[in-house]
Amino acid sequence: MKSFISKLFASLCLLTGVSCTSKTASRMPIYVMPWYNSEGLVINVGKYSEALKQNTSVALLETARQMKEHLDQVPIEAFYVLAVRLYDMGEKEESAYWFYVAQFRARVFNGMLAEVGSIGDKGFELRQAFASFNQLAGTYINGYIGGNVDKWVQVIERAGETCKNMGYMGVPYPDIKFKPVAEQPAIVASVYKGLMELKEKISNEKKEIERIRKENGVNGKY
């Protein structure tokens, strides 16, 4: 866990942008197929797919509210797409919150898989998808939220509070084999602990983060 935190912290602090970054783009230009593609706005994440295609902040924030009411029934990929779409609409702080909710639950998903499987297995494919969302969307979302360390810390804390008592991972994924429900609390606690350690590290290194971002010209890029 400490190695994960150190690597994540380093990557978040040193973000300098990617070649596809564009301030004029109306959508974050990423794709994680078959779940999401910004080209043509392809969304395939179950019940909320059509709602997530809406192009107003008000509509997407209402979708977010509905998803939160049924948090433990919603698949993780839908939370990632929600984060991307909120970013597209300029609701970037809420985007960051849902991105960290998705990350938290994805780490629990990974820890709860009874077997990882291989190409073609749903559990394996979702693990790969979550990693892709983390890398691709994370560049933009962390690039933005890292510009205000105080808000970043608040977002992480909110996400942790939302997820620390989450329900069984098998509920949104009944066709995937997970470890017994009795094993999940320890995994959730470990993920929560790691997230809170990351929050503390970010808070303690505020001045250094600000210095690095200024030197690298990241501020205002996202």
Q: What is the pLDDT of residues 44-61, one digit of tens each?
A: 999 999 999 999 999 999
Host domain of residue 144? 2-14+26-216
Domain contains 20: no
> Rounded CA gap, 178 and 112, in Å?
5
The number of distinct structural domains making up the chain is 1
- pLDDT recorded at residue 42: 98
> Rounded CA gap, 137 and 139, in Å?
5
> Rounded CA gap, 90 and 85, in Å?
9
- Does 141 have pLDDT greater than 50? yes
The residues near 90 (Cβ < 8 Å, ≥ 6 apart) are 57
Q: What pTM was computed for the model?
A: 0.89
Token look-up 């303690």 returns: 204
What radius of gyration do the chain's Cα atoms show?
17
Domain contains 166: yes
